[in-house]
Chain A
Amino acid sequence: MWKWLNSYADPERSYNLAGKLLPWLACLAIALIGVGTTWGLLFAPTDYQQGESYRIIFIHVPAASMSMMAYVSMAIASFIGLVWQIKAADWAAASIAPIGAVITFIALVTGSTWGKPMWGTWWVWDARLTSELVLLFLYLGVIALYASFEDKVLAARAAGILAIVGVINVPIIKYSVDWWSSLHQPATIKITEKSSMPMEMLMPLLINIFGFGVMIATITLVRYRTEVLARNGMRPWVRALATKEVAK
Chain B
Amino acid sequence: MNRGISYTRAFTTLFMRDIKIAIRHRGDIFNPLLFFIMVVTLFPLGVGPEPQVLSRVAPGIIWVAALLASMLSLERLFKADYNDGTLEQMLLSPQPLPLLVLAKVLAHWVLTGVPLILVAPLLAVLLNLESNSYGALMATLALGTPVLSLLGAIGVALTVGLRKGGVLLSLLILPLYIPVLIFATSAIDASGMNLPYTPHLAIIGAILAGSLILAPIAIGASLRVSTN
* A→B interface (CB under 8 Å): 82, 134, 137-138, 140-141, 144-145, 148-149, 151, 154, 157-158, 161-162, 164-166, 168-169, 172-173, 175-177, 179-180, 183
Contact = CB atoms under 8 A, between A and B. Distances in A.
A168 B214 contact: yes
Contacts of B207: 172
B49 interface: no
Given A140-B171, A157-B225, A158-B222, A177 B178 contact: yes
A194 B164 CA distance: 46
A144 B168 contact: yes
B175 A144 contact: no
Majority DSSP secondary structure for residues of A touching B: helix
B179 to A, nearest CB: 4
A157 B221 CA distance: 9
A166 B155 CA distance: 11
Interface string B155-186: 10011001011001001101110110011001
B154 interface: yes
Contacts of A180: 182, 186
A137 B174 contact: yes
Contact of B171 (A144, A173, A175, A179): A144
28 contacts: A134-B175, A137-B175, A138-B175, A141-B168, A141-B171, A141-B172, A144-B171, A145-B159, A145-B168, A145-B172, A148-B165, A154-B225, A154-B228, A157-B225, A158-B222, A158-B225, A162-B154, A162-B172, A165-B154, A166-B175, A172-B207, A173-B175, A173-B176, A173-B178, A173-B179, A175-B179, A176-B179, A183-B186
A157 B218 CA distance: 12
Q: Which 4 A-B pairs have the closest CB atoms?
A: A176-B179, A137-B175, A176-B182, A141-B172
Contacts of A162: 154-155, 158, 172
B226 interface: yes
B188 to A, nearest CB: 13
Contacts of A161: 154, 158, 218, 221-222, 225
Interface of B: 154-155, 158-159, 162, 164-165, 168, 171-172, 174-176, 178-179, 182-183, 186, 207, 214, 218, 221-222, 225-226, 228
Chain B CB within 10 A, most for which of A134, A173, A175, A176: A176
B151 to A, nearest CB: 8
Contacts of B183: 176
Contacts, number: 71
A134 B154 contact: no
Given A161-B218, A169-B176, A173-B179, A137 B154 contact: no
A148 B162 contact: yes
A165 B218 CA distance: 8
B158 to A, nearest CB: 5
A161 B151 CA distance: 13
A81 to B, nearest CB: 12
Contacts of A151: 228
B178 A176 contact: yes
A204 to B, nearest CB: 33
Given A144-B168, A148-B159, A158-B226, 5 more contacts: A141-B171, A144-B171, A157-B228, A172-B179, A173-B178
Contacts of B154: 161-162, 165
Contacts of B176: 165-166, 169, 173
A82 B222 CA distance: 11
Contacts of B178: 134, 173, 176-177
Contacts of A145: 158-159, 168, 172
Nearest to B185: A180
Contacts of B158: 145, 158, 161-162
Contact of B175 (A141, A148, A157): A141
A145 B165 CA distance: 9
A179 B221 contact: no
A135 B162 CA distance: 24
A168 B154 CA distance: 13
Contacts of B214: 168
A133 to B, nearest CB: 9
B17 to A, nearest CB: 26
